[in-house]
Copies of this chain bind each other. A is one copy, B any other.
Amino acid sequence: MATIRDVAKLAGVAPITVSRVLNKSGYVSPETQLRVETAAAELNYVPNMLAHSLRSNRTQTLALVLTDITNPFWTTVARGVEDEANAHGFNVIFCNTDENPAKQDQYISMLLRRRVDGVLLVPATSDGAAVSALRTQGVQVVVLDRRVDGGPVDVVRGGSEAGAQALADHLLDLGHRCIAVLTGPSELSVSHERVAGFKAAYVQHRLQFDDALVRYGAFTVESGYAMAMEVLTLTPQPTAIFAANNFIAIGALRAFRRMGLRTPEDVSIVVFDDLPDTFATAPFLTVVAQPAYLLGKTATEILLARIASPATSHTQEITLPASLIIRTSTIATAPPPPPPCLTV
């Protein structure tokens, strides 16, 4: 494989001149440029990015550390990241942590060895350990979707509270008073934020929120199914369910079917996160949709800006609003409204 020196020899110039031509840096006369380009083409020269990176301390590589690329929400985020990064000449390495801190740590040490220029991190834990591990080695970090403790970091997230509140508003307006809340792991900020947003709506409606109807589990179909089965056996049976992400919702829908409950006639359901348009033959879930692609794109923009000028010390937290989409998975409770689940 030809090196820059081979090209230089063939073109009758110094290696550094070849470098200048290929990088369009410094002054090169048009004739020299042509000679070099011809020589490079003839030798089928392919620049060695490793050597370039080693010298310049820039790998033109980002990493996206997320929970599971299989979740269509994250897939879309990933696509946003990829497109934006690629437009700036960066490549992206993907890492699935499956919410497993050990896996996350393993990936992070690999990324440090690789000297990636920046990391987009969906932290598996809310302690800032992962973030500071990267930063102390000079790697730029932007946190996605979740908040972490310990020092200021750039964060790009969806509007969990406002989104959840919008869903709660919708249900309360429809007359529901006994609503079960199925959310993710209690270790994650999003899990709490979505519950908090839900509660906020109750306050505004001057209603008492019943913590006994909240379940913390995982953001998976299985967990959604299990949590739904549990709350649906309560007396009185909830008239509506809030699923804190799309997988939990799918699990809940399966539980409905298992128990012979119709949606929305017997139980209403609202969901945080949409399923991409593409998968829905007949979308019926009332959801708040996060702008997943934009989330990935925005986070990448910020990360690239930080890489370009690391001096900028001012960190920012960007919240991209989620939008309520009312479909047919929710229905008003039969008048007169049933007695409240909890007597105040």
Please report A residues at the B interface, Cβ cutoff 8 Å: 1, 44, 46-51, 53-54, 59, 68-70, 72, 75-76, 78-79, 82-83, 91-96, 109-110, 112-115, 136-138, 221, 247, 250, 253-254, 257, 275-282
Contact = CB atoms under 8 A, between A and B. Distances in A.
29 contacts: A1-B138, A49-B115, A50-B50, A50-B115, A54-B54, A68-B79, A69-B69, A69-B79, A70-B72, A70-B79, A70-B276, A70-B278, A72-B72, A75-B75, A82-B95, A82-B96, A91-B93, A92-B93, A92-B94, A94-B94, A221-B277, A250-B278, A250-B279, A250-B280, A253-B281, A253-B282, A254-B281, A275-B279, A279-B279
Given A250-B281, A279-B250, A50 B46 contact: no
Given A70-B75, A113-B47, A278 B59 contact: no
Given A82-B95, A93-B93, A250-B281, 7 more contacts: A46-B137, A49-B115, A50-B114, A70-B76, A83-B96, A247-B278, A257-B281
* Copies of the polypeptide in the assembly: 2
A83 B96 CA distance: 8
B114 A91 contact: yes
A140 to B, nearest CB: 15
A93 B92 CA distance: 6
B72 A279 contact: yes
Nearest to A55: B50
Contacts of A113: 46-49
B94 A82 contact: yes
Contacts of A54: 48, 50-51, 54
A96 B84 CA distance: 12
Contacts of A68: 79
Nearest to A136: B44
A112 B46 contact: yes
B79 A75 contact: no
